[in-house]
Amino acid sequence: MFGDVDDVEDLDVVMKPRRWCDYAFLLSVCLFPLAFLQLEPGGPVVRCLVTPFCEGGDLDGVIRRHLQNPSAADRQERWLLLTDMVRGLAYLHGKPFPRNGHRVLHNDIKPANVLLRRQADPATQTERPIALLADLGLACVYTGGSLVYGLSRGSPGFMAPELFVMPAGGEGRRPGNTPATDVYALGVTLYCLYSQTDTAHRTEEQPSEADLRVAFAEVGALEAAAGCRPARLAGLLVGMCCPDPTGRPTMGQVAEALEAVSGAMAAQRGAEMVVRRGAAAEAPVPRPGSLLFTYDHDMDEGGLFYYIGTQGRTQPWQNPAELGWVTATRSSDCLIGGGYASDLTGRRPCDSWTANEPNSWWQVDLGAGRLFTPTHYTLRHSHRTDDVGYRLQTWRLEGSVDGADGSWRTLDEHAISRGVIPARPDAMATFAVAPDRAFPARLFRVLMTGPSPNGYHYLMLSGLEMYGSLRGVP
């Protein structure tokens, strides 16, 4: 996907001076570099944004397929697409990596500008569609107030009603775009998805509240099934299409409600898997003696969490924290795009981080009956590709028998002068625990003791593995 970027130069204020970028969200942040292409010898050089190939087409195609060939899988697909689009716009409106306080308005959200890729989903062992907000040709920086243009930006049928209000006396310019107009456009886009409205027949007529409630009843049913009552997310989706911009929720509010539902659904799936595996998986019988886990290479299959996640290397690996076999927690969650605490014991690189707070930490509780004496541990940096300046460089690995205040003891400590995780995305490094510091503990935590190279306190990790000896329940 190529295109001239002259019309998005106002985005340059939020980009790094050393390169151009397009902003979007693909479960995590995707930053697309600029390419300079000369299509023929001696011809002009064209600046183009280079983006991933989206083999799944656009959202228009999904809507037509759901309309013409409905299937039982459509409901799950709609939920996944809803999740991606809400997270994407919430990221643009309130970026989790603030460099200057600016936000970005998309200004042309519609099904044709939502492109799809396919990606393996470790949770279901299947492929899932990934929705990518694309075509930021009308995007602009938003610093507050109402932007004013000679003509309001957007596409007919997806532009908010206030963009068509003429000034008093018929003179002057119409009001311009705001975050609320993006919210409206996404709301109508989601309405088209859930009502299976072919956008070829979409008019500028605003969907009625009754039609919106019927369309989003499916989301309300998912909330109820996940135990989320009342159905807050479904109500917010209806409110996104409110004629009055002051009655619309912010994308932060919508994203918060969505993450609550997603978290409840994930917990429910984990509980169901534990039940299916039977009592033996929930409460393994303690074995005498100790089990030894020896380090060979970074994120090998000889570590503690791999052993627990494969039930003693007898089953396919699953993240033990997602199933409740260990408990991962962290000091805070970043509302948009920060992943989950359970990512700490995952095997797949991903984007996961805490909020920007000093002394951020991430910990794992092995559970009652387990005491582990570490000899080595491996840390993996987040999957974020645009800026390794967020990498961890000063930290302490601490252990505790019960997690009580005052019970935490230092197992290993790193300052900038010592070896750190390499400066590249997904980088891993393994560190030894000195024998005179090692002791048996049930809980372990990584405590960030200083800022990352760029001065922030986001603790960004996508993996922890530990080696040593385990006593008690394996």
Domain spans, the chain: 6-262, 284-472
Q: What local confidence, expressed as pLDDT, does residue 163 receive?
A: 84
Confidence band (pLDDT; 50, 70, 90) for 14? very low
Average pLDDT for 33-52: 68
Average pLDDT for 376-398: 80
Confidence band (pLDDT; 50, 70, 90) for 374? very high
Average pLDDT for 170-180: 72
Q: How far apart are CA 324 and CA 368, in angstroms?
A: 12
Q: What local confidence, expressed as pLDDT, does residue 231 receive?
A: 75
Confidence band (pLDDT; 50, 70, 90) for 307? very high
Q: What local confidence, expressed as pLDDT, does residue 413 receive?
A: 92
CA distances from 356 to 91, 187, 451 (A): 15, 30, 10
Query: If phi over 0 gives left and psi between -120 and 50 gives alpha, with beta otherwise, what is residue 26?
Result: beta
The 10s digit of each residue's pLDDT in 73-108 is: 688 889 989 988 998 888 788 754 344 455 788 889
How many residues comprise the chain? 474
Confidence band (pLDDT; 50, 70, 90) for 467? very high
Query: Which residue shows structure tokens 């532009």?
Result: 159
Q: Considering only residues 23 and 89, tell me which one the structure prediction assigns the higher pLDDT.
A: 89
Q: What local confidence, expressed as pLDDT, does residue 64 receive?
A: 86
Confidence band (pLDDT; 50, 70, 90) for 202? low
Residue 437 pLDDT > 90, yes or no? yes
Q: What whole-number percentage of the chain has pLDDT above 90?
A: 27
The 10s digit of each residue's pLDDT in 208-253 is: 889 999 999 999 888 888 787 677 899 999 999 999 999 999 998 9
The 10s digit of each residue's pLDDT in 104-149 is: 888 899 999 998 887 755 445 567 788 888 887 788 777 766 554 4
Q: Considering only residues 309 and 472, tell me which one the structure prediction assigns the higher pLDDT.
A: 309
Q: What local confidence, expressed as pLDDT, does residue 395 receive?
A: 93
The residue among 399, 384, 333 whose CA lies nearest residue 360 is 333
In CATH terms, 6-262 corresponds, of 3.40.50.720, 3.40.50.300, 1.10.510.10, 1.10.10.10, to 1.10.510.10
Q: What local confidence, expressed as pLDDT, does residue 290 receive?
A: 74
Average pLDDT for 262-282: 55
The reply to whether domains 6-262 and 284-472 share a CATH topology is no
User: For the chain, what is the HEC assignment?
Assistant: CCCECHHHHHHHHHCCCCCCCCEEECCCEEECCEEEEECCCCCCEEEEECCCCCCCCEHHHHHHHHHHCCCCCHHHHHHHHHHHHHHHHHHHHCCCCCCCCCEEECCCCCHHHEEEEEEEECCCCEEEEEEEECCCCCCEEECCCCCECCCCCCCCCCCCHHHHCCCHHHCCCCECCCHHHHHHHHHHHHHHHHHCCCHHHCCCCCCCHHHHHHHCHHHHHHHHHCCCCCCHHHHHHHHCCCCCHHHCCCHHHHHHHHHHHHHHHHHHHHHHHHHHHCHHHHCCCCCCCEEEECCCCCCCCCCHHHHHHCCCCCCCCCCCCCCCCCEEEECCCCCCCCCCHHHHHCCCCCCCECCCCCCCEEEEECCCCEEEEEEEEEEECCCCCCCHHHCCCCEEEEEECCCCCCCCEEEEEECCCCCCCCCCCCCEEEEECCCCCCCCECEEEEEECCCCCCCCCCCECCEEEEEEEEEECC
Residues ≥6 apart with Cβ < 8 Å to 404: none
Residue 281 pLDDT > 90, yes or no? no
The residue among 36, 110, 71, 26 whose CA lies nearest residue 383 is 26
Q: What local confidence, expressed as pLDDT, does residue 418 receive?
A: 53
In the numeric block, which tokens belong to residue 12? Answer: 């340059």
Average pLDDT for 289-315: 89
User: How many C-beta atoms lie closer than 10 Å to residue 40's C-beta?
Assistant: 6
- Architecture of the domain defined by 284-472: Sandwich (2.60)
Confidence band (pLDDT; 50, 70, 90) for 29? very low
